[in-house]
């Protein structure tokens, strides 16, 4: 009798121990669990520009709780005048940066070990625009003209476009620092203006001009297009945080899928001040969302999926930058990208 009681008591103790171990294992071996009990993994994302529909997928993912579902505490840093996302990434103040590949290549040429883990926009959104009343009709007509460019890494495609016409950008044209609007073009201060198809292109049209009032050079069609809005990280961070980046990518994809499916709802979710200026106006932001969606879904964005990296386009970006941008040299494509994070995220 005593022996039976002892056996039952031992079995009860054993059962409690097994349950306790199982609970411990599940708690501390959950792939979505942070480093400490109850803590979330932190990721800081540096945007290329201010919070706007250009980045709607990331903002929607934050507002819809998709990062939290992946056990990520996301911090999204806005960009702006004087903020280069590549510099922020290199300084260690961000874990992931939304950056134009052409803007990253000079830093890589100087030895920075930066890696593209996902390609956002699958085609260039850069345009150069002239008024039809000007004497610019063909690319070669830009010789001697004042051309508006945005400094800080946004000028590389116009530089390449100028050089492709057999012109020297320092001697054969006059480069002018352009504001982030189209006023200098409309006022006759410059003959050719930089414009993104999802933003500045539409400002004069929303103000009453017609699309027929402009001659437009599409950098993608002109052979000067470079990849834009890619996700870059330091290689050291990549090597130490592969699982975290897979979860970040998965949440970001979910946010972008939602935003692309319903751009107007995405704009509402971003909680912007629509009264701040003409760029933040709701109608403009909805148009921006629609045009940005087209760039994300272009080409491989539809056939392969969001954030796929097309190596042919990546090599083309490197080739254009190497040939026409003196700050870029010796970049090997295989060293600056990986599809591993993307592959794991889409499983």
Q: How far apart are CA 119 and CA 98, in angstroms?
A: 9
> What is the pLDDT at residue 76?
98
Q: Among candidates 94, 87, 93, which has minimal Cα distance to 112?
A: 87
Residue 189 burial by Cβ neighbours in a 10 Å radius (0-12, 13-18, 19+): middle
Q: How far apart are CA 25 and CA 180, in angstroms?
A: 54
137 contact partners, CB below 8 Å, separation of at least 6: 215
Say if residue 269's pLDDT is above 70.
Answer: yes
Residue that has been written with the tokens 């190497």 in this structure: 322
**Span 331-341, mean pLDDT?**
98
Burial state string for 296-306 with b = 16 or more CB within 10 A and e = fewer than 16: bbbebbeebeb
Is 33 in a helix, a strand, or coil? coil
Q: How far apart are CA 123 and CA 44, in angstroms?
A: 26
> What is the pLDDT at residue 154?
86
| Percent of the chain with pLDDT strictly greater than 90 | 82
pLDDT band at 259 (very low <50, low <70, confident <90, very high): very high
> What is the pLDDT at residue 37?
56
Give residue limits of the domains in the chain: 41-124+226-345, 126-218
> What is the pLDDT at residue 278?
85
**Kind and range of the H or E run holding 73:** strand 72-77
Q: How far apart are CA 283 and CA 289, in angstroms?
A: 10
**Distances in whole angstroms, Cα of residue 346 to Cα of each of 47, 80, 243, 250:** 23, 32, 13, 7
Quote the tokens at residue 265. Answer: 């709802």
Say if residue 27's pLDDT is above 60.
Answer: no
Q: What confidence tens digit (pLDDT) does each residue in 80-91 have?
A: 988 999 999 999
Question: Per mean pLDDT, which range of 180-184, 248-252, 342-346 is the poorest?
Answer: 180-184
**CATH topology of 41-124+226-345 equal to that of 126-218?**
yes
**Span 241-257, mean pLDDT?**
98
Quote the tokens at residue 290. Answer: 């629609």
CATH, domain 41-124+226-345, list 2.60.40.4070, 3.40.50.300, 3.40.50.1370, 3.40.190.10? 3.40.190.10
Q: What confidence tens digit (pLDDT) does each residue in 117-155 have?
A: 999 999 999 999 999 999 999 999 999 999 999 987 789
Q: Where are the alpha helices (DSSP H) in 234-331?
A: 235-240, 242-261, 263-269, 282-297, 300-303, 311-324
Is 337 in a helix, a strand, or coil? strand
Quote the tokens at residue 131. Answer: 């008024």
Strands 96-99 and 126-131: unpaired
Quote the tokens at residue 35. Answer: 């480093």
> What is the pLDDT at residue 153?
74
* Crossing angle (nearest 10°) for helices 101-109 and 311-324: 60
Q: How far apart are CA 133 and CA 69, in angstroms?
A: 54
pTM of the predicted protein model: 0.87
Strands 193-196 and 126-131: antiparallel
Q: What confidence tens digit (pLDDT) does each residue in 161-216 have?
A: 999 999 999 999 999 999 989 999 999 999 999 999 999 999 999 999 999 999 99
Say if residue 16's pLDDT is above 90.
Answer: no
Q: What is the DSSP string of 164-183?
A: HTT--TTTTSEEEEPPSSSH
| Domain 126-218 top-level CATH class | alpha beta
267 contact partners, CB below 8 Å, separation of at least 6: 53, 56, 282, 285, 286, 289
Q: How many CB atoms lie within 10 A of CB 143?
A: 13
Q: How many CB atoms lie within 10 A of CB 198?
A: 23
Q: What confidence tens digit (pLDDT) does each residue in 277-329 have?
A: 888 899 999 999 999 999 999 999 999 999 999 999 999 999 999 998 888 99
Quote the tokens at residue 87. Answer: 């510099």
Say if residue 58's pLDDT is above 70.
Answer: yes
């Amino acid at each position: 009798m005593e022996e039976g009681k002892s056996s039952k008591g031992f079995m009860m103790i054993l059962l409690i121990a097994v349950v306790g171990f199982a609970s411990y294992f599940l708690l501390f071996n959950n792939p979505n669990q942070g480093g400490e009990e109850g803590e979330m993994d932190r990721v800081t994302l540096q945007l290329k520009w201010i919070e706007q529909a250009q980045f709607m997928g990331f903002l929607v993912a934050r507002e819809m709780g998709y990062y939290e579902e992946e056990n990520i505490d996301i911090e999204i840093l806005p960009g702006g005048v004087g903020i280069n996302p590549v510099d922020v990434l290199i300084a260690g103040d961000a874990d992931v940066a939304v950056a134009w590949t052409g803007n990253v290549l000079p830093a890589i040429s100087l030895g920075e070990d930066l890696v593209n883990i996902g390609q956002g926009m699958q085609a260039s959104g850069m345009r150069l625009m002239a008024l039809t009343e000007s004497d610019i009709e063909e690319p070669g007509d830009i010789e001697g003209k004042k051309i508006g460019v945005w400094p800080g890494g946004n000028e590389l495609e116009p530089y390449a476009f100028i050089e492709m016409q057999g012109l020297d950008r320092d001697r054969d044209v006059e480069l002018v620092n352009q504001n982030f609007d189209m006023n200098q073009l409309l006022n006759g201060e410059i003959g050719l203006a930089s414009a993104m198809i999802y933003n500045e292109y539409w400002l004069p049209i929303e103000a009453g001009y017609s699309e027929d009032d402009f001659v437009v050079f599409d950098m993608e069609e002109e052979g000067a297009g470079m990849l834009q809005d890619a996700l870059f990280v330091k290689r050291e961070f990549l090597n130490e945080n592969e699982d975290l980046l897979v979860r970040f990518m998965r949440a970001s994809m979910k946010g972008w899928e939602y935003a692309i499916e319903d751009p107007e709802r995405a704009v509402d979710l971003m909680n912007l001040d629509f009264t701040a200026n003409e760029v933040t106006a709701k109608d403009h932001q909805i148009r921006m969302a629609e045009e940005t969606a087209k760039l994300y879904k272009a080409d491989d964005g539809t056939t392969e999926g969001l954030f796929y990296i097309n190596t042919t386009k990546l090599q083309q970006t490197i080739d254009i930058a190497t040939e026409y941008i003196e700050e870029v040299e010796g970049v090997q494509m295989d060293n600056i990208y990986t599809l591993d994070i993307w592959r794991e995220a889409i499983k």
